[in-house]
Structure 1
Amino acid sequence: MRYYQYLQNGTKHVGVEDDAGQVTDLTALNSQIGSTLDLFKAASITGSDIDSVARGILAANKGAATTSAAELLDGAKPGCHWVTLLPPVDAPEVWAFGVTYMDSMRERQAESGSPDVYAKVYDADRPESFFKATLDRLQSPFDDVGIRADSGWDVPEPELAFVTYGGKIVGYTCGNDMSSRTIEGENPLYLPQAKVYDKSASLGPALVSKESIGDAQKLSVTLTIDRDGKEAFRGEANTADMKRDCEYLVGWLTRHNSIPDGTSVMTGTGTIPPPEFTLQAGDVVNITIDKIGTLTNTVVVV
């Protein structure tokens, strides 16, 4: 099952998509479900999972009206305004891990004047982690994402992101970790400036429960970048190529570090455009992950 958060007529809703691609408004059926975090809270109280909670609500309201997921997503695209998609979880904190794929390690070595640090991180037990965003700095699906005006080499990083509750992984979504390769390449200590700035993070479009995703380390991740209506770049990776899996990463994130419920974590990228490619204003970035969907954002200069 997939879960969406969206605004319609000024009111926030949670929708659940079933296996037939039909979305039911859970908030309309149960006013206590105002966010996906409410689903996780209910699941925690009942000792179950959000799919079981959603199925219980649907079973108690048989015949409820539905709309297709395709119609919901089309209605959220720029210029349509039928609904406004939100990040699929109200993440109070967004963290990210880097150097989790061999290709990422090699690319960061190539851009850096201090390449050895990346090889050391890749081979170490302790992963690289950094704070990426807060909820009010998080971009929604179809929102703009930014490239810095003081950077000349900029890329999106398509990443599987996991969602936590009680410090445990409870769901997954797509993440876009926008990055300045210019700034990070100058000095690894500039990483926060290369990674954290206006419009530098986006999550969506849907949240998929841990139970529905199956094996999170067997998901294909596809990045396409459209420019002037044509595909300017395409790359593919698979989470099977991650050196450190999601459970390993959350174990390190919560080590001596308390995180609030809903914290979302980007897990690194296996797809980085080549050195001759840099994002431009107006580019459209599409990140597609198996079983989750496609996160779409348009690039602007910030």
Structure 2
Amino acid sequence: MRRRRELRGVRYFHVRTGSNDLRLVARDGESGYDLTAARPAVSSFRDLAMVASATNRGVDDVAEGIVSDAPVVGTESVETATARPLVPDEVWAAGVTYEASDDARQTESDRPDLYQDVFENERPELFFKATPSRTVGPDDRVGIRADSDWDVPEPELGVVLYEGDIVGYTVGNDMSSRDIEGQNPLYLPQAKVYDRCCAVGPCVASPETVGDPHELDVRMTIRRDGETAFEGETNTSLMARTCEELVSSLTRHDAVPELAVLLTGTSIVPPTEFTLREDDHVEIDIESIGTLANAVTVV
């Protein structure tokens, strides 16, 4: 009988093989394990979360029952062949959860009191962000609208939900057309929802791996022509609302789909004179999860 492997600090990647098949790989430090090779029915994070939900266990506990039979995957394969780690049925987002975001959206709008009211109100701002077809993964291109002149990425902690329960965390990029929203708050859907408007990845980190989601360093770097055009950092401890509060507000009166991601807001805001351009490169790093990297294209 094989000895059960204990996993510590687990992150789940979707990795392409040489035949372009997608495999779910559990990475524990520098070691990676091909869970799909051991259990073909577990080919995605959705499958893993479904088994965990059906058996009333955590995703790491389910993975631990598989890794003893799973072949080891090299670090290079995980890092160079990573695809979108999950395909959420819906992506939702929260706005004005940091004071810096509140300040930035007041600056861009002719109605700044609207955003101050949200920041101070018990009810958070929650809005629909993306469908699967509008969401991209690591090393894919995120989009900026051709009819917008002021576009920025928004680095955010993403809460992964399965049937409304928190099963992991990922890195999210909530692409935004600031001038469109600034013209009128009613234009928010057009500023937020469009082709390639959202990126998630590079993995899903389990709740045990992340620990306290409100004590994570977040960094963003934007490079243009090989030079750093912008960089900033923050910590999720500055959030005015907790992940649990935001999830509760989202699920309390709405039937969320089986697999969803809730982005929790940003406080890294480029200066007003900055806007993204074609071929800019955005890197977002969140402690305990990883780095999401995307180039930019006009859509």
Normalised to the residue count of structure 1, the TM-score between the two structures is 0.93
Question: Which residues of structure 1 form unaligned runs of 5+?
Answer: 76-82
Counterpart check, 1:67 vs 2:67? no
Find the counterpart in structure 2 of residue 254 from structure 1. 251
Q: Which amino acid is the alignment partner of residue 170 of structure 1?
A: V
Find the counterpart in structure 2 of residue 163 from structure 1. 160
* Bigger mean CA offset, 242-251 vs 34-43: 34-43
Counterpart check, 1:25 vs 2:22? no
Counterpart check, 1:48 vs 2:54? no
Find the counterpart in structure 1 of residue 289 from structure 2. 292
Counterpart check, 1:224 vs 2:230? no
Q: What per-residue deviation string (whole Å, max 9, x for no partner) do you get for residues 233-274 of structure 1?
A: 100011100001100000000021011121101100010100
Distance 2:156 2:212 in 1: 16
Q: Which amino acid is the alignment partner of residue 66 of structure 1?
A: V
What is the aligned counterpart of 1:15 among 14, 18, 25?
25
Instruction: Kindly indicate whether the alpha-carbon contact (under 8 Å) linking 2:31 and 2:72 is maintained by their aligned counterparts in 1.
Output: no
Counterpart check, 1:139 vs 2:136? yes
Question: Which residues of structure 2 form unaligned runs of 5+?
Answer: 1-9
Q: Which amino acid is the alignment partner of residue 73 of structure 2?
A: T
Q: What per-residue deviation string (whole Å, max 9, x for no partner) do you get for residues 105-161 of structure 1?
A: 000000101100000000001100111111122111100011111111110000000
How far apart are residue 71 of structure 1 and its match? 4.2
Distance 2:72 2:286 in 1: 28
Percent identity between the aligned chains? 49
Moved over 4 A (4+): none
Computed over aligned residues only, the root mean square deviation of the Cα atoms, in angstroms, reads 1.1
Please list, as runs of the form range in 1=range in 2, the aligned pairs for 1:178-189 lying within 5 A after superposition: 178-189=175-186
Q: Which amino acid is the alignment partner of residue 41 of structure 2?
A: Q
Distance 1:30 1:141 in 2: 25
Normalised to the residue count of structure 2, the TM-score between the two structures is 0.94
How far apart are residue 72 of structure 1 and its match? 2.1
Q: Which amino acid is the alignment partner of residue 74 of structure 2?
A: T
The SS at the match of 2:258 is coil
How far apart are residue 211 of structure 1 and its match? 1.8
Distance 2:109 2:179 in 1: 9
What is the aligned counterpart of 2:108 among 104, 107, 111?
111
Distance 2:61 2:267 in 1: 33
What is the aligned counterpart of 2:14 among 5, 12, 31?
5
Distance 1:37 1:3 in 2: 11
How far apart are residue 215 of structure 1 and its match? 0.2
Distance 1:250 1:3 in 2: 22
* Bigger mean CA offset, 120-129 vs 1-10: 1-10
**Matched positions, count:** 289
Find the counterpart in structure 1 of residue 236 from structure 2. 239
Distance 1:186 1:238 in 2: 30
The SS at the match of 2:159 is strand
Q: Which amino acid is the alignment partner of residue 117 of structure 1?
A: L
What is the aligned counterpart of 1:204 among 192, 201, 204?
201
